[in-house]
Amino acid sequence: MHRIRVLLVDDNLEFLDVAATLLEGQDCEIIGKAENGEQALRDTAILNPDVLVLDVSMPGLSGFDVARRLQKNKTRSAIVLLTFHEDLDYVRAAQALGVLGYVIKRRMATDLPLAVREAAAGRQFTSPPLDVDRTRTEV
Could you read off the pLDDT of 79-88 as tens digits, one per residue? 999 999 888 9
Say how far apart CA 7 and CA 116 lie, in whole Å. 11
pLDDT for 56: 93
Q: Torsion angle of alpha carbons 45, 51, 56, 57, nearest 10°?
A: -60
Confidence of residue 131 (pLDDT cuts 50, 70, 90): low
Is pLDDT at 137 greater than 80 in this prediction? no
pLDDT for 69: 94
Confidence of residue 21 (pLDDT cuts 50, 70, 90): very high
* Per-residue pLDDT reduced to its tens digit, 23-43: 987 789 999 999 999 999 999
Say how far apart CA 67 and CA 75 lie, in whole Å. 9
Is pLDDT at 134 greater than 50 in this prediction? no
What residues have CB less than 8 Å from 111, skipping those under 6 apart? 103, 104, 125, 127, 128
Say how far apart CA 112 and CA 89 lie, in whole Å. 20
Q: What is the pTM of this model?
A: 0.89
Please give the mean pLDDT across all residues of the chain.
89
Which domains occur in the chain, in start order?
4-138 (3.40.50.2300)
